Structure 1
């Protein structure tokens, strides 16, 4: 319908057709001037939909939160830890279609999709010039099975492009290269322009919001649906304006702003919201600063965190090799369509949260949540700072990729602190493992140009690779086996410091009890001090060659020096060099069939990395989804802030774990275990990884032990969660998980839902859910239920020994319906509790009714025509 109201704009000497979005909104009774930026982009996306978009547009115009909106992203981006299992699913789906007499080629991405291999690198080597080459060689050898599978995918699927390891991380490549901000598509004889939109299999996909692109993280199941052309259905979120005001203080770094915002917005409660930054403070932030803030949207609890298109956007496009036609069309389109920043002065938000930039102080966050901000200069003084390895010692110091290496100011500041420390004769503490893993090859190039790489190298921050490393648990071993043994035998509570964005329990390294997030120069400072117990604003980092104490303020560079070095060394040619073999534009992608690959993957029976998925043969389907929701046993009863790392860890596999035992039984030695994340293409290994975090505390156990333990009931036998699930499966016993607030926060990994589903979990009841994980549960046919306000496992006096049933699911089950949770206690007493279904959309309800999204994909693929 409304596409017929299209008009033309001129840019770069060409005519582009664009949607008459203002006219359509007016016709539907809306006021375009009051729509926030995200809703303007979302409305244009809905307008491009193949089905009748009027209902979705009316929802946006009226700001109603009661109906579903179809969202068809223009692109899908995948990182390899979640993208590989998604492609394993599609390969398995091809087999299932073929087995039922269909054409396997009907299973093929419809939406242009990029996968970046950026989560496979482990920090095995560090501290010398050979580290990069050695780590990349180990990565290629250790992940040969995975990379062989990805190579087949790159050739067998159209509309899929795989960017190999060594290029950088998904978010930075997406920001620095793949997006054009405004995309184009030829329809007949006309060239149409539209806003770039996307979803990605990493919660930090939101970094792209910094450049004005609407996109967010989803689980692998949703990504598969989007790849195959299904619209993602969402309810209109709360739109929160974040007003930035005041003047930035000297010596600021974007990390400090990000941590202040994380604390502020977690307190304000913005879970699931779209955030939009506005106000006089926005102009003070570079595009890289904005990237640091937008990247942290999941830590805020938000779905997206957007900046509108402005001059900073255009400058960044030109700087990164996308000037000319790309920057020209972006400006013309944004001004014509009301997406230019000054077109939003009348925009109305559901509420506004304000941050005074002048109040931002140098800070860190930890020990286990990104919103636990600690302002430096206010830390309590330590009784005494240890001079050797002891409790409080920093054993890992990693300048890692995700949040901060997109930001030249932060990385250059780290190099200058290292240079100034080196001049004073300072070195890293001898028990600290140091590493530097930037998210883009450009970072290494501008450091080399400025000579700062030599100073970082001198303190042990040699380049170890381009990828997501320590922040994601790919930190490798500590400095030496002797240090690891001391930590174990002396039971030391040691510390890791990272410039990433995640510090959840057990994520970074099993022996790092506490993890603190901070800016890159502070990583250097703590590596020199060797102890977390100091306050670098007050305490000396060490003594120089003259025996004089050295303080951080003596090493910290001036703003003018930072600006000069950035301006002199970061130029557009570095981006052209780094991405010379990566296309500027993420349009339709043809497969390369020259190798003559088959339409179906040749699964290897002995592979411990890539196994044919069981979902369509054994099935996750349920003809009657309510039949197994009675008299469920509790597999785990958990507290607040249970993250997807607790449910499906990414890091090191311990030899005594179920996954470790599985690998050893198949002849895999411990040095070749790799990580939980890289093994997710093998459902047998990934099942055994479920709830395998060494920091998990299951309240079914009264002794407070940590790890993947539970009670097998009614025997009350202590065993691992996987082994208990196997015993329950033999009894055909359905399972439930009981939890507290913000269940499933953290990374957007679908195995945090796939794993529990394959273990037999049918229901999760919690006080609240994080958005992505709630959606993943629905997509796997697990029913998410939420206690009413003021009700919890504690208020109900639950022990976890009860039996649970769900009643009141009618045939016309609607989103957000209230149902009854029946609790049958050990003494025979029964209690009925009202709970709310967190199947939030009609699409969620359909998934649940059919046992999840995967069975629907099979049905639809059998009907779909072949792509090529």
Structure 2
């Protein structure tokens, strides 16, 4: 309901009168025409606060903090909706089901545990590339997906009926980010109040760090961990401190032959170097205005790779045209246009916006590039200006290689993946045309390369079919294998053959994976792919033909034609004019309408569906290896926190820079000799049915054992050895990290993780925090954190600490074998408080250092003191 204290304005659209919060007027008391100076993101944040904060004093304090850029004030953000993908969304719903059990057990009403905002869950991360290179691959993979994930899907079916305001979109429809962009967002939302229709900007959070793709059309949204998502789902405002807002001016025109991936990789390198971690990045300038929404989507998707919270483009005519193209109603387009122009969200109303920093990048200097071998910002410009070639050329490699003898650099996986690029028709059509041109010259896929194509939307299949290009991709092995997040997320399936895998392991061959995705962290794509490179879809096709990941395709030939002559990338790359004409011809509005005609996305309550009979509480199957009742409310739970100092901590792991959530909680292949593999075998699961770490996160027993299970983890406690190993102290016995944690738990020893810079970069998975918490980790001491993971640590009751005064594990000469006491927790803890850590060595030396608590808000302090959000929620529902 609209509070009369809020300034309102009326907006008439197609004869319908809307009320909206007059954010310009709401901000006016705090300076001279302050709204004109606000960047786009802060205008949306101000409207959100003005509309949702009912207490007038609190509302004024928050708006003043936004207008005057005060960063010591907690700000409430109330997202209008939440989106989930199934690997991270299923554990969220498992938590809510467990909370219902806990409420009922203590005499409360379990039905009170219900989403308070619209929630969409898209099943898009369960698909594995088991079959490929045939016309039957799509149906075969989907059959395996349904069969293998039956327990998970049964739980999700119950949740879809038992919870209000939840809609679950089944597998095979596309990925969350494209469905969100093409169908779910109205850009400007509306709802009926008791007195009027209220219009307001759509906003959201999602359990995928690449939720930022929605920023391409001016919608404020970002990725969060499952803990924050649960808070938002249950109607809690997400408390935050005002982020830095960085304006990035795009100038110049991209060179001929560009693909948006090249821009995205250049921005990832540039902005990561400029230090925009946690910032809102806003793109503006003449070059930004010329970019298509598809190009903007490719860029915005990569915001987590910059380290940014969001990467926004403002609403303009391209936004409206895209809405029409994707089947939004004429009225929705008119409402978006009218609201944006009236409320200063239209692109030309931002000329006086003041950013905390302004950067510039010239798109005319963007070169064709790839990124790797293990970070998205490790850009390698192709061509003479930055040679990336090895000693052998592709033609020599193809002459000498066989599936029985692979030298270093062989491309064993080439995947056109769904997330970043298949929202972009130009990129996908370029891949199809390159395939056609290559086939005409007699080129074929390298015989040792596994190829796959997993579009993020069924629209992609439609326009490729219309263009007649899918048959050319098929001829090179890029048949559509499903509509989901696959190889980029570690669901790459087996390599070409068991013999090939055995040869790679036996000879320790350093092989390569190439994908058109957005993540290439160590061990993520496939355990046997030592290096992984990100690139545009046409380059994926080129490398699949060459079969050698060490060539530079701008210089070295991809292979030889019918006449034995070398064929270079420039010989098969399509022209810009050809791409522009084909895109205009084949990508039309009817494809979007047809693709979504059978998609049910409506949000409903159980009252809306009176004939559905379903139990309020889930009937947990004690034999399930996928779904188990979570332990967070058990009386013996290790999550119980106290306000006293933490003493006698031992280091479970001491890690370097850029430790990703893939290192902490891997998502891909489960090996039989891993802790999780042994657990599954002991419970009657055959190795061929292991599925993946990600799909097992609804079972805390499996997910605990997956913690720090990366084969590429380097725990400095065990020297240079790779893998999930640690030392039990003081006896120096080497065990797996899970086994070591169990030993410490029996002794009652609290644990610590020590790390370098950018700890927790990458995916937003909350199990990278839940797992360590269940293993007994009480604190993390790092040089710096990625935003999402730091918030996840606070949300589960782990204390994130940050080194100060230029100190780190190296300057302090830490071995990881010391004992640690954290002092200063006994009183009233404040956000960002300076605490003391006493470090004692076995030889009696004591070092005392000051560290900063990275509990950044009062809400995070409360989470820590109550053992995390989940115990806190139980208290709230019972009281």
TM-score tier, shorter chain, comes to: over 0.9
2:189 to 183, 192, 195: 183
Tell me if 1:39 matches 2:51. Answer: no
RMSD: 1.3
5 Å-filtered alignment, 1:73-88, equals: 73-88=79-94
Determine the structure 2 residue equivalent to 1:834: 850
The offset of 1:15, in angstroms, is: 0.7
Alpha-carbon separation, structure 1, partners of 2:607 and 2:468: 41
Query: In structure 2, the residue corresponding to 1:397 is in which secondary structure?
Result: strand
The offset of 1:687, in angstroms, is: 0.2
Change (3 A) 1:593 1:796: farther
2:722 to 685, 706, 709: 706
Alpha-carbon separation, structure 1, partners of 2:341 and 2:593: 28
2:514 to 493, 497, 505: 497
Tell me if 1:542 matches 2:535. Answer: no
The offset of 1:411, in angstroms, is: 0.3
Change (3 A) 1:420 1:259: same
The question of whether the paired residues in 1 share the 8 Å contact of 2:417 and 2:516 is answered with yes
Tell me if 1:347 matches 2:349. Answer: no
Determine the structure 1 residue equivalent to 2:136: 130
Tell me if 1:676 matches 2:693. Answer: yes
Structure 1: unaligned runs, 5 residues or longer: 864-868
Please list the CA deviations of residues 284-316 of structure 1 after superposition, one character each: whole Å capped at 9, or x if unmatched.
Answer: 200000000000000000000000000000000
Tell me if 1:267 matches 2:273. Answer: yes
Please list the CA deviations of residues 361-404 of structure 1 after superposition, one character each: whole Å capped at 9, or x if unmatched.
Answer: 00000000000000001224422243312110000000000000
1:662 to 646, 663, 679: 679
Of stretches 150-159 and 577-586 in structure 1, the one that deviates more from structure 2 is: 577-586
2:324 to 318, 343, 352: 318
Tell me if 1:727 matches 2:729. Answer: no
Determine the structure 2 residue equivalent to 1:756: 772
Change (3 A) 1:624 1:781: closer
Change (3 A) 1:584 1:335: farther
The offset of 1:593, in angstroms, is: 5.5
Determine the structure 2 residue equivalent to 1:6: 8
5 Å-filtered alignment, 1:55-204, equals: 55-204=61-210
5 Å-filtered alignment, 1:451-530, equals: 451-530=468-547
Determine the structure 1 residue equivalent to 2:338: 332
Query: In structure 1, the residue corresponding to 2:415 is in which secondary structure?
Result: strand
Alpha-carbon separation, structure 1, partners of 2:337 and 2:74: 31
The question of whether the paired residues in 2 share the 8 Å contact of 1:155 and 1:593 is answered with no
Tell me if 1:239 matches 2:255. Answer: no
The offset of 1:625, in angstroms, is: 2.4
Tell me if 1:51 matches 2:54. Answer: yes
Query: In structure 2, the residue corresponding to 1:632 is in which secondary structure?
Result: strand
Determine the structure 2 residue equivalent to 1:395: 412
The offset of 1:584, in angstroms, is: 7.1
Alpha-carbon separation, structure 1, partners of 2:639 and 2:709: 27
Alpha-carbon separation, structure 1, partners of 2:658 and 2:53: 39
The offset of 1:2, in angstroms, is: 6.7
Alpha-carbon separation, structure 2, partners of 1:319 and 1:564: 17
Say how many residue pairs are matched.
Answer: 862
The question of whether the paired residues in 2 share the 8 Å contact of 1:3 and 1:19 is answered with no
Change (3 A) 1:748 1:724: same
The question of whether the paired residues in 2 share the 8 Å contact of 1:621 and 1:850 is answered with no
Alpha-carbon separation, structure 1, partners of 2:734 and 2:227: 33
Query: In structure 1, the residue corresponding to 2:390 is in which secondary structure?
Result: coil
Query: In structure 2, the residue corresponding to 1:615 is in which secondary structure?
Result: coil
The question of whether the paired residues in 1 share the 8 Å contact of 2:163 and 2:605 is answered with no
The offset of 1:611, in angstroms, is: 0.2
5 Å-filtered alignment, 1:781-792, equals: 781-792=797-808
The question of whether the paired residues in 2 share the 8 Å contact of 1:75 and 1:586 is answered with no
Alpha-carbon separation, structure 2, partners of 1:821 and 1:479: 51
Determine the structure 2 residue equivalent to 1:405: 422
TM score, norm. by length of structure 1:
0.98
The offset of 1:612, in angstroms, is: 0.4
Alpha-carbon separation, structure 2, partners of 1:708 and 1:221: 25
Alpha-carbon separation, structure 1, partners of 2:29 and 2:349: 20
1:806 to 800, 811, 822: 822
Determine the structure 1 residue equivalent to 2:436: 419
Alpha-carbon separation, structure 1, partners of 2:635 and 2:583: 56
The question of whether the paired residues in 1 share the 8 Å contact of 2:161 and 2:606 is answered with no
The question of whether the paired residues in 1 share the 8 Å contact of 2:632 and 2:639 is answered with no
Of stretches 564-573 and 427-436 in structure 1, the one that deviates more from structure 2 is: 564-573
The question of whether the paired residues in 2 share the 8 Å contact of 1:3 and 1:20 is answered with no
Change (3 A) 1:585 1:141: closer
The question of whether the paired residues in 1 share the 8 Å contact of 2:166 and 2:603 is answered with no
The offset of 1:189, in angstroms, is: 2.9
Please list the CA deviations of residues 301-336 of structure 1 after superposition, one character each: whole Å capped at 9, or x if unmatched.
Answer: 000000000000000000000140111100000000
The question of whether the paired residues in 1 share the 8 Å contact of 2:12 and 2:18 is answered with yes
Alpha-carbon separation, structure 2, partners of 1:562 and 1:3: 54
Tell me if 1:206 matches 2:234. Answer: no
Query: In structure 2, the residue corresponding to 1:654 is in which secondary structure?
Result: coil
Query: In structure 2, the residue corresponding to 1:353 is in which secondary structure?
Result: strand
The question of whether the paired residues in 2 share the 8 Å contact of 1:646 and 1:691 is answered with yes
Tell me if 1:638 matches 2:655. Answer: yes
Of stretches 44-53 and 261-270 in structure 1, the one that deviates more from structure 2 is: 44-53
Structure 2: unaligned runs, 5 residues or longer: none
Alpha-carbon separation, structure 2, partners of 1:15 and 1:618: 54
Alpha-carbon separation, structure 1, partners of 2:82 and 2:651: 36
Change (3 A) 1:267 1:567: same
Alpha-carbon separation, structure 2, partners of 1:108 and 1:114: 14
1:384 to 392, 404, 409: 392
Alpha-carbon separation, structure 2, partners of 1:643 and 1:571: 40
Tell me if 1:649 matches 2:666. Answer: yes
Query: In structure 1, the residue corresponding to 2:418 is in which secondary structure?
Result: coil
The question of whether the paired residues in 2 share the 8 Å contact of 1:178 and 1:586 is answered with no
The offset of 1:489, in angstroms, is: 0.9
Tell me if 1:230 matches 2:236. Answer: yes
Determine the structure 1 residue equivalent to 2:831: 815
Please list the CA deviations of residues 236-275 of structure 1 after superposition, one character each: whole Å capped at 9, or x if unmatched.
Answer: 0000001000122111110000000000001100000000
Query: In structure 1, the residue corresponding to 2:812 is in which secondary structure?
Result: coil
The question of whether the paired residues in 2 share the 8 Å contact of 1:404 and 1:520 is answered with yes
Alpha-carbon separation, structure 1, partners of 2:202 and 2:546: 45
Determine the structure 2 residue equivalent to 1:866: none
